[in-house]
Amino acid sequence: MRIFPLLAALAVSALMYMAIFERDALLGLTQGTTQTPAAETGGPDPAGASDVADPDRVKVIVQRSAAAPLASAVIVRGQTTAARQVAVKAETSAVVISTPLRKGATVRAGDVLCELDPGPRGAQLKEAQARREEARSRVPEAQARVAEAQARLEETLIKLNAAQKLGQGGFSSQTTLATAEATAAAARASVSSAKAGLNAARAGIDAADAAVASTQAEIDRLTLTAPFEGLLESDTAELGSLLQTGSLCAQVIQLDPIKLVGFVPETEIDRVIFGAQAQARLAAGNQQIAGTVSFVSRASDPTTRTFQVEIDVPNPDLSIRDGQTAEIAIAAAGVEAHLLPQSALTLNDDGTLGMRMINAENIVEFAAVDLLRDTPQGIWVTGLPAQANVIVMGQEYVTAGVTVTPTFRGEAPQ
């Protein structure tokens, strides 16, 4: 039987027992903190000396921290987007008769992008105009017929009135009165017919006007122009090509100003306000740009529960392209925060993220914190008092309510 493996196992077990169950005593021995009690040495026990030199207390490193103002910002990732982008498409079918423009060219609002062959549309317009003039010429004739019929009706009504009075005095027969009434009814019908003819003539004018307008609109569709000043993202349609209704003539984008589009979590959206200043760093070349918030969505994305935010950025030299990735920082209200080492973070028994600190009696307390920003110098947190003594080393070995022996960082031990 080999005895050396058994001895090694016993030694390891003893070390593990000391590390787990006798940790405080072991730390005191390794750090030279074991001292002879005053009762054994016979020396005096000055006030407070037993508190400082108590070997049962865990020693911790503490950093004094004071809250400082921090310019807060909401950090999101997003991308650049053209302020406006439109696909200019044909609204009618015809052959292109204009020389194409090449992509990358600058166009102004109203510049011709594609010119289409009018074909028979010019003749159709002249025909519609001629029909309109013909319809207009019928109106005076119809008006004259109405006037004539109205005059006959008035004459007939006079005769009817006379016949009625003569009949009442016994000087006219019933036949004469009936003839006068029939003549008056015929005159009224003639007036109604004449007015209907006048209305028909006017309706003909309206129809002719509509035909002229429709034909003119069809001709206007033959010229496709730029809706705004921008850049051609594609070549315009080639000379001689046939454009059907809905075919693409050109793609036009506007890059000045350009937009930054990001999506803010619902926990941060209340910190973003319209008109706030924002800065961004583009992934390509680390270019720094700045702008103002121009839109904050009121409805969240149903999938991600984030809110869209848009930022207008001047781009006069068109150096910022559409679709570039950007890291955006949107200015928010400043807060009082502490700058502390990231290693000081810990969890309590409930799993809450926070930091442990000591009060004036060197008793450990726990405070939940919120992370604001991570920097090379440390992390900025809120949730601590304005003045706090934070345990930055040894916080994992103590819990709230325990009295410790602190050593303040940057200060000579007492």
What is the per-residue pLDDT across 274-307, written as a single tens digit (0 to 9) for each?
A: 999 999 999 877 889 999 999 999 999 999 999 9
For residues 393 and 341, the answer to whether their CB atoms sit within 8 Å is: no
**Euclidean distance between CA atoms 274 and 308, whole angstroms:** 12
What pLDDT does 183 receive?
81
Residues whose CB falls within 8 Å of the CB of residue 48, separated by 6 or more in sequence, listed in order: none
**Tokens found for residue 37:** 């009690």
- Residue 38 pLDDT more than 50? no
pLDDT at 201 over 60: yes
Distance from the Cα of residue 57 to its chain's centroid: 56
Contacts of 107 (CB under 8 A, 6+ apart): 101, 113, 226, 229, 230, 231, 232, 252
Provide the pLDDT for residue 223.
93
Give residue 81's Cα distance to chain centre.
11
| Of residues 267 and 113, more confidently modeled | 113
Tens-place pLDDT, residues 309-322: 999 999 998 889 99
User: How far apart, in whole angstroms, are the C-alpha atoms of residue 358 and residue 179?
Assistant: 123
Query: Does the predicted TM-score (pTM) go above 0.85?
Result: no
pLDDT above 90 covers a percentage of the chain that reads 45
CB atoms inside a 10 Å sphere around CB 414: 7
Q: Is the pLDDT of residue 414 over 70?
A: no
Closest Cα partner for 383 from 351, 337, 414?
337
Strands 405-408, 59-66: pairing kind: parallel
User: Would you state the pLDDT for residue 160?
Assistant: 74
Q: Give me the residue label for tokens 């519609």.
A: 128
Choice between 170 and 257, residue whose per-residue pLDDT is larger: 257
For residue 407, the surrounding DSSP H or E stretch is: strand 405-408
The span from the CA of 14 to the CA of 3, in Å, is: 17
Is the pLDDT at 329 greater than 70, yes or no? Answer: yes
The mean of the pLDDT values for the chain is 84
Alpha-carbon distance 271 to 325, whole Å?
23
* Strand 353-358 versus strand 364-368 pairing type: antiparallel
Asked if residue 164 lies in contact with residue 178, where contact means CB atoms within 8 angstroms, the answer is no
**C-alpha distances in Å from residue 160, one per residue of 106, 171, 178:** 81, 14, 9
Query: Tell me: the pLDDT tens digits for 366-385?
Result: 999 998 888 888 999 999 99
Contacts with 44 (C-beta within 8 Å, 6 or more apart), sequence order: 38
Domains of the chain: 1-36 (no CATH), 60-70+335-408 (2.40.420.20), 84-118+222-248 (2.40.50.100), 121-220 (1.10.287.620), 254-331 (2.40.30.170)
pLDDT-above-70 percentage for the chain: 86
Mention every residue, 6+ apart, whose C-beta is less than 8 A from residue 238.
Answer: 96, 100
Full DSSP string of 231-279: EESSPPPPTTPEEPTT-EEEEEEEEEEEEEEEEEETTTGGG--TT-EEE
User: Confidence class of residue 21 from pLDDT cuts 50, 70 and 90?
Assistant: low
- Return the pLDDT at 2: 64
When mean pLDDT is compared across 86-95, 181-190, 386-395, the lowest value belongs to 181-190
